[in-house]
Structure 1
Amino acid sequence: MAQQNSVSNPCILITGANGFVGRWLREELQNALPPSARIISTFKGGGNSDITRSQRTEVAIELDIEDEQAVDEVIETWRPNVVIHLAAVSHVLEASASPKQTFAVNLNGTIALACSVRKFCPTALFINIGSSEVYGSSFIGANAPLDEETLLAPTNVYATSKAAADLFIGQMAKSGLQSVRFRPFNHTGPGQAENFVVSGFAAQIARIEKGLQPPTIKVGNLEARRDFTDVRDIVSAYVTAALSPPERFAGGVILNLSSGTARRIGDILESLLAMSQVKIQIVEDPARMRASEVSYVAGSSAKAGRLLQWSPQIPWETTLRSVLDYWRASV
C-alpha cells in the first residue's frame, strides 16, 4: 500500500483526467510539480491513449466514480495529498437526456469520492470543480458580474446536479473535509468538443475552408452574452490551489473563475469568421435555439484574485485563433 505523501513529495489524484480540461490540467501539473511528485490520472472507459503515453511522474488508472468500492480501493492505495475532481456529465443537453445517469455521476460520484477521502486521507485537499451554471436564473436581470454570494438557482439537470454536489462538499467542509469549490464560467481552448459553442463554430469554419462542408454555418441564439476564459488560464487556478497550503481554504472556500466580460455569441462568431480564409454565410437553425437561455452571464473572480493571485492572462484573440488552428489541423 502506498503511504500518504508529504507536501514536499505531493501525490495529486485527478478524476476525469482524459477529458478536455483534464488533459490541459495534467500538462500544467507536469510543468509545475517537482520530479519527485506523482500524478494519479483516473478515467472511465476509453480515450486514454494520451494518458498511457504520459510522463514518468504520472500513473493512469481506469476508475468509475459511481463504483464506491473501486473509489475506496484507489484512494486507500494512493492516499493522495490533493484530489482534483473533474469527472462529470458536463454537456447540458446530454445531461437533460439522462437525468438519473447525470445525478449518478455528478452527485453520487462526488459523494463517494469525498467520503473516501475523509476515510483514508483526511488531511488531503479536495478540489471540487463545479460550474457557474449553478447560478441559473440569478443571471436574469443582472447587468454586472455575479460573485460567490449569489443565490444558487439552477435551471437544468446538469446545473442542478452540480449545485447538489457543490452543496454536499460545502456540508462536508463543515465536518472537516479540507476543500475548495471552484465555479468556473465558460471556458474554451484547443481540444474542446464541437458541441460547445466556440469549438463548434471553429470546427465548421475549418471544414468549410477544406471544402468538407458547404459555406454556411448554422447557428442558434447569437444575442446571448457569455463570460469566456481560456482553459489554460482556468487550469492554472486549479494548479495554484493544489500547490497551496490546505489551511488557506478553511471552511470550504468558494471561488468563481471568470473573465468578468460578457461576450456576445454573435461577436465571437464574427471574430472567428474574420480569421477565415473563405466567405461564409450565417444561417439560423431553430433546432439550435435553447428555450431557457438567459441573455447575460458574467462572473466576478475578485475573490480568486485575492486568495490565489489569479486572473486570466491569455488574450481572447489568442484563444480564438488557437481553437480555430486546432480544428484546421484536426479536420
Structure 2
Amino acid sequence: MRVLVTGAGGFVGSWLVPALVADGHAVTAAGQEGHAFPAERAGAEWVGMDITSAGSVAAAVERAAPEAVFHLAGQASVGDSFKDPLGTWDVNATGTLRIAGALPKGARLLLVSSAEAYGSVPEAEQPIREDRPLRPCNPYAASKAAAEMAALQAGESGGIEVVVARSFNHTGPGQDARFALASFARQLAVIRAGGAEPVLRVGNLSARRDLLDVRDVVRAYATLARAGAPGGVYNVCSGAARSMREAVDELVELSGTRARVEVDPERVRPIDVPLLLGDSARLRGLGWTPGIPFRQTLADLLEWHAARLEPSARAAA
C-alpha cells in the first residue's frame, strides 16, 4: 500500500516509518527539512513539507499519491502551546484541515489526536471512554479537539475515510528531552556520567497518567489504519495509570544515581490535569494489546539518552 507519514522526523514517526517499511508498504515520509536521513535510511522516500503551507502540503500529497495517511505532524508540547497558542492552532488544527483537503477521494486518514482534549475529568468518571465530551483546558488540547472536528467533517463530506487515534501519554527511546520523562532520563544520564550534581529537577509529580511505550503506540496506529471504522475514534492507552512520582522513583533506581528529587517551579504547568486514565476496550477489540513492560520502557529511555550524551553534557549540569 502507498502510505504517507507526516511528521515523520519526530518521535513517533522515527519508529512508525521503519515499521511500515518492514510491513512491505511503499512509504513517503514527510516532514521538516533536515530530518530526511533517518527516514531514507529506513527505506522510505523523503519529501520536505511545511504543514503551515497549503501549497507545500498539496505538493507532498501529490508526490506520495497515498492510499493511507498517518498524520503525526504537530506541535506536541503543552508547555509550548501556552507560549504560542496561535502557532499551535495553525499547526495542529488548520494543518489537519490542509492535509484532509489535499487528499484524493477514497484515501484513509489516521489522525493522531490527544487525550488532553478530554480535559479534567472527575476521578469517579474514569477510565475515560471515547464518547466522553471534550473539555480541553490548554491551547494544545483545544487545537487537537479542533483537528478532530476538521478531519471528521472532511470524512463526512470530502470522500475520505477518517479514523481518529486519541492518544494518551507515551514515551520511550528517542523522545525529546522537552517532555517530562525524557527530561528526567537525560538529567539522570548526565548525573550518572559525572556531569552534574545528583539532583533531579522535576515539575508536578502528583499527576497520574496512562503511559504507553512508543513501540506499542506504533502497533496501535498500524492496527487502526488497517481495521479502524471510518469515522471511528479510539483511545490509544494502556488502561492503567501511575503517578509521575512512581515513574521518577523507578528511573532514579534504574540509573543507580540515588539522585535527590527537587521541584523546579519553572517545570510546573499553569494547569495540570490530576488524572488521565483511558478505557482501551475499543482498540483492544481490534486485536491490539500493549506488550512492553513499563520498566523496560524507562530503562530503554534512560539508556537511549545516555548513549547520546555529548562530551560537553558530561561536564555540565
| 1:220 shift after superposition | 1.5
- Counterpart residue number, 2:314: none
| 1:135 shift after superposition | 0.3
What SS does the aligned partner of 1:60 have?
strand
- Counterpart residue number, 2:200: 217
Instruction: Indicate conservation of the 8 Å contact 1:194/1:200, yes or no.
Output: yes
User: 1:101-139: per-residue Cα shift (whole Å, max 9, x none)?
Assistant: 11111111111110111xxx21111110000010012x2
User: 1:175-207: per-residue Cα shift (whole Å, max 9, x none)?
Assistant: 232010000100000010112111111111110
Query: Does 2:114 match 1:157?
Result: no
Q: Which amino acid counterpart does residue 257 of structure 1 have in structure 2?
A: V
**Counterpart Cα distance in 1 of 2:56 and 2:244:** 42
Q: Which amino acid counterpart does residue 26 of structure 2 have in structure 1?
A: R
Query: Does 2:308 match 1:330?
Result: yes
Query: Does 2:35 match 1:44?
Result: no
**Counterpart Cα distance in 2 of 1:242 and 1:170:** 15
**Counterpart Cα distance in 2 of 1:106 and 1:31:** 28
**Counterpart Cα distance in 2 of 1:142 and 1:28:** 38
Instruction: Indicate conservation of the 8 Å contact 2:115/2:166, yes or no.
Output: yes
In structure 2, the gaps of 5 or more residues are 310-317
TM-score of the superposition, structure 2-length normalised? 0.93
TM-score of the superposition, structure 1-length normalised? 0.89
**Counterpart Cα distance in 2 of 1:143 and 1:262:** 14
Instruction: Indicate conservation of the 8 Å contact 1:143/1:296, yes or no.
Output: no
- Counterpart residue number, 1:5: none
**Counterpart Cα distance in 2 of 1:315 and 1:272:** 14
What SS does the aligned partner of 1:13 have?
strand
- Pairing of 1:1-331 with structure 2 (within 5 A): 10-33=1-24, 37-55=25-43, 58-117=44-103, 121-137=104-120, 139-142=121-124, 144-175=126-157, 176-244=159-227, 249-250=229-230, 252-306=231-285, 308-331=286-309
**Counterpart Cα distance in 2 of 1:240 and 1:22:** 15
| 1:78 shift after superposition | 2.8
| 1:143 shift after superposition | 5.5
| 1:98 shift after superposition | 1.2
Instruction: Indicate conservation of the 8 Å contact 1:16/1:88, yes or no.
Output: yes
**Counterpart Cα distance in 2 of 1:167 and 1:278:** 46
**Counterpart Cα distance in 1 of 2:139 and 2:156:** 26
Question: Residues 315 and 141 of structure 1: is their aligned pair in 2 closer, same or farther, counting only changes over 3 Å?
Answer: closer
Q: Which amino acid counterpart does residue 71 of structure 2 have in structure 1?
A: H
Instruction: Indicate conservation of the 8 Å contact 1:142/1:296, yes or no.
Output: no
| 1:211 shift after superposition | 0.7
Instruction: Indicate conservation of the 8 Å contact 2:119/2:134, yes or no.
Output: yes
| 1:293 shift after superposition | 1.4
**Counterpart Cα distance in 2 of 1:125 and 1:47:** 25
Q: Which amino acid counterpart does residue 258 of structure 1 have in structure 2?
A: C
CA RMSD across the alignment: 1.4
Instruction: Indicate conservation of the 8 Å contact 2:110/2:163, yes or no.
Output: yes
Instruction: Indicate conservation of the 8 Å contact 2:110/2:164, yes or no.
Output: yes
User: 1:24-57: per-residue Cα shift (whole Å, max 9, x none)?
Assistant: 1012112222xxx3100001132332124332xx
Instruction: Indicate conservation of the 8 Å contact 2:110/2:165, yes or no.
Output: yes
Q: Which amino acid counterpart does residue 75 of structure 1 have in structure 2?
A: V
In structure 1, the gaps of 5 or more residues are 1-9
Q: Which amino acid counterpart does residue 249 of structure 1 have in structure 2?
A: A
**Counterpart Cα distance in 2 of 1:88 and 1:74:** 16
Instruction: Indicate conservation of the 8 Å contact 1:185/1:257, yes or no.
Output: yes
Instruction: Indicate conservation of the 8 Å contact 2:3/2:64, yes or no.
Output: no
| 1:243 shift after superposition | 3.5
**Counterpart Cα distance in 1 of 2:133 and 2:98:** 26
User: 1:61-86: per-residue Cα shift (whole Å, max 9, x none)?
Assistant: 00112211222222233321101100
